[in-house]
Structure 1
Amino acid sequence: MKFSFRQLEVFLAAAHHQNITKAAESLAMSQSAASSALKELESQFNIQLFDRVGKRLQLNELGRLYRPKVESLLAQSGELENAFSKHTEVGELKVGATLTIGNYLAVGVMARYMNTPTRPRVALEVANTRTIAKRVSDFELDIGLIEGELQSSELDVIPWRGDELVVFCSPDHPLAAVKELSDDDLRRATWIMREQGSGTRQTFERGMHGLLPDLNILLELEHTEAIKRAVEANLGIGCLSRVCLADAFRRKSLVPLGVPAHRLFDRTFYFILHKQKYRSAGIDRWIELCEQLEDPPQLEPG
């Protein structure tokens, strides 16, 4: 074999940090050793993987072509090393999730994934769909769990489970006694909403087509718990995933509201994986545990 795994590690670190000094630090190497390893890799095959701009290293077309292959090879190598040393096929996992999934579903899956004799670690990053997709594309996350629609030539977008948004209010709100809201009720209501650009807001706006210019939106908040507290305080009504509201509905601190049948708030949660990412046993186990999650109970409005 003409190349070493260390040379490949230096290549990936340089691609990530775009600087050989930072790449060396991340690998606990000297700058000269990392630089030599990268130069040897290129010279052995008479290729150039980076464009050098001052101290910055930027992947060229050839480097971008080989990066996924190197990622896959080192991932398989790492899994084999883990199996040899720990006698297990399920290892450390880096997971990204959007807000609703990360706060209300992923933590439970993490607990089950880590509850094995070898205690494999899971690093969970919670961010918006765009950020999670980029991190998966750059091989910085093993798998993403998203609630927004996504088109990408680099990623496999795999349907996971259905979800729906629910309009809700405080049990003391005047609309709590209304069996089904009309469009006029929706126009007159005061709303507490997720921020623009969130997956939840996108689904809400799709379901409220034709009414958006007339809606009275009092607050736009980034966190679902803040929205729930504001609605409990009777500042307005809200619209969030049923996953976020299941506990509050059981406690009856919030109540679901019926909306006109043509107002559709259904959506899909997805797994996202890089198309060239090695599908490890850990990834398969994570997906299996996610698919075992139970749906929240369906409650009648009013």
Structure 2
Amino acid sequence: MKIFLAVYKNDCNVTRAAESLSMSQPAVSLAIRELEEYYGVKLFERLGKRLQITQAGIMLSEYAVSISDLFESMEENVRDWEKGGRIRIGASLMIGTQLMPEYVKAFQVRYPGTDVRVKVEPQEYLEEKLLNSELDFALVEGAVQSPTLEAEPYMTDHLTVICSPDTGLRNRQMISMDEFRKMPLLLREKGSGTREAVDHVLTAAGYTPDPVWETFSSESLTCAVICGIGTAIIPYRMAAIPLRRKQVVEILVEGLEFTRYYSIVRHRKKHLTESAKNFIDLCRNYEMDYPTISFT
């Protein structure tokens, strides 16, 4: 198509078309002849000493212009895909709520030409999408279940125990494990990264939790604590604003420390574009590059 258009745009002059393409004249003539044989029509005809385009050639030129433009656009976009293109990122609920908006905002400032698509879902769904190549990578809170996926810890997270000020407890007051057992417990749902970390620590301490309230939302737990329904264990980032407003108090439980890691998860055989690698690097270094995170 490119050779055909070159001949047409050079006033049906094969010699000038060959020069514009850095090709030999016989090669151009052969390409035109093969195109005519393929479609079974004459695209050019010789009238005297000049080559003229036929009606079939004019019709083909209308399609050829669109095809050529589309092909050039495709080549340009494919070549630049590693630098720009689209990134498909998954995030578990806590990360998607508190961190991902900040990540994407910072990334778009650095790389404004990249199309970033985010899915915020429970981790089990994210792992399924990674296995089906529906995501390039995901940021999750819990341990990865599939051996086909690899996880790289990139951030330390601390969970905190919060209760209502109406309990009479002071902020950062230490209580015993026996006192803690008597408190109505509000927890995230089974299967979440937060619940997994909480159950691990409490089971190791000989306590099997029996929560009075379970939900997929840490915000829901915080609201329930503010209303005096019970005691919750949530990521410190989620408790920062209610603590600052003195709507809740943080308590320390003797012998308990809730620490976990956020991880970058990908399929072991997944090829990552330069854009995806750049986003991952931003996540790894975010706390150093952007030391204050706004949770407003």
1:34-62 Cα deviation digits (max 9, x unpaired): xxxxxxxxxxxxxxxxxxxxxxxxxxxxx
Give the C-alpha shift of residue 151 in structure 1.
4.2
1:154-178 residue CA offsets vs partner (Å, 9 max, x unmatched): 2221111111211011233323367
- Following superposition, the deviation at residue 81 of structure 1 comes to 4.6
What secondary structure is seen at the aligned counterpart in 1 of 2:225? helix
- Opposite residue 184 of structure 1, the aligned amino acid is D
Q: Within 5 Å, which residues of 2 pair with 1:105-254?
A: 105-116=99-110, 118-176=112-170, 179-209=173-203, 210-213=205-208, 215=209, 217-254=211-248
CA contact (8 A) 1:188 1:216 kept: no
Measure the CA separation in 2 of the matches of 1:130 and 1:80: 37
Match of 1:189, SS state, is coil
Q: In the superposition, relative to structure 1, how do residues 178 and 125 fare at CA in structure 2: closer, same or farther (>3 Å)? A: closer
1:68-83 to structure 2, matched below 5 A, reads 81-82=76-77
Structure-2 residue corresponding to 1:283? 276
Q: Which secondary structure state, in structure 1, belongs to the residue aligned with residue 152 of structure 2?
A: strand
The secondary structure found in structure 2 opposite 1:293 is helix
State the distance in 1 between where 2:75 and 2:141 align.
33
Letter in 1 for 2:90: G
Tell me, yes or no, if the aligned pair for 2:169 and 2:249 is still in contact at 8 Å.
no
Distance in structure 2 (CA, Å) of the matches to 1:272 and 1:136: 8
1:99 aligns with 2:93: yes
Q: Distance in 2 between matches of 1:166 and 1:117?
A: 35
Q: Which amino acid aligns with 1:243?
A: R
Q: How far 1:221 moved relative to its partner?
A: 1.2
Counterpart CA distance in 1 for 2:163 and 2:131 is: 39
SS at structure 2 position matched to 1:217:
coil
Residue 106 of structure 1: how far off its partner (Å): 0.9
Q: Deviations over 1:80-112 (max 9, x none)?
A: 8536468x8133211111111111111110112
Q: Tell me how far 1:254 sits from its aligned partner.
A: 2.3
Q: Secondary structure at the match of 1:184?
A: helix
Which residue is 1:30 aligned to? none
Q: 3-state DSSP class of the match of 2:99?
A: helix
The one-letter code of the counterpart of 1:292 is N
Shift of the alpha carbon at 1:113? 1.7
Q: Could you tell me how far apart the structure 1 residues matched to 2:281 and 2:237 are?
A: 19
Task: Tell me the amino acid that sits aligned with residue 288 of structure 1.
Answer: D
**What is the CA-CA distance between 1:195 and the residue it aligns to?**
1.2
Cα distance change on mapping 1:269 and 1:117 into 2, 3 Å? closer
Q: 1:217 to 1:153 in 2, by over 3 A?
A: closer
Q: Distance in 2 between matches of 1:201 and 1:236?
A: 16
| Alpha carbons 1:83, 1:89 under 8 Å: kept | no
Structure 2 residue 262 is matched with structure 1 residue 269:
yes
Q: CA deviation at 1:185?
A: 1.1
Task: Identify which of 244, 249, 253 aligns with 1:255.
Answer: 249
Larger Rg: 2
- Quick one: distance in 2 between partners of 1:285 and 1:80? 23
SS in structure 2 at match of 1:205: helix
* C-alpha displacement of 1:251: 2.8
Cα contact 1:193–1:227 (8 A) shared by 2: yes
Answer yes or no: is the 8 Å Cα contact 1:90–1:285 preserved in 2.
Answer: no
Structure-1-length-normalised TM-score: 0.65
Task: Report Cα offsets for 1:245-273 as digits up to 9, x if no partner.
Answer: 2232233322211111x323111111011
Once residues 81 and 128 of structure 1 are traced to their aligned partners in structure 2, the CA distance between those partners, rounded to angstroms, is: 37
% of aligned pairs identical? 27
In the alignment of these two chains, the number of paired residues is: 217
Segments ≥4 residues shifted beyond 6 Å: none
Consecutive unaligned residues of structure 1, counting only runs of 5 or more, are 1-78, 298-302
CA RMSD of aligned residues (A): 2.6
The alignment's TM-score, normalised by the length of structure 2, stands at 0.66
Structure 2 unaligned spans of 5+: 1-73
Q: 1:69 corresponds to which residue?
A: none
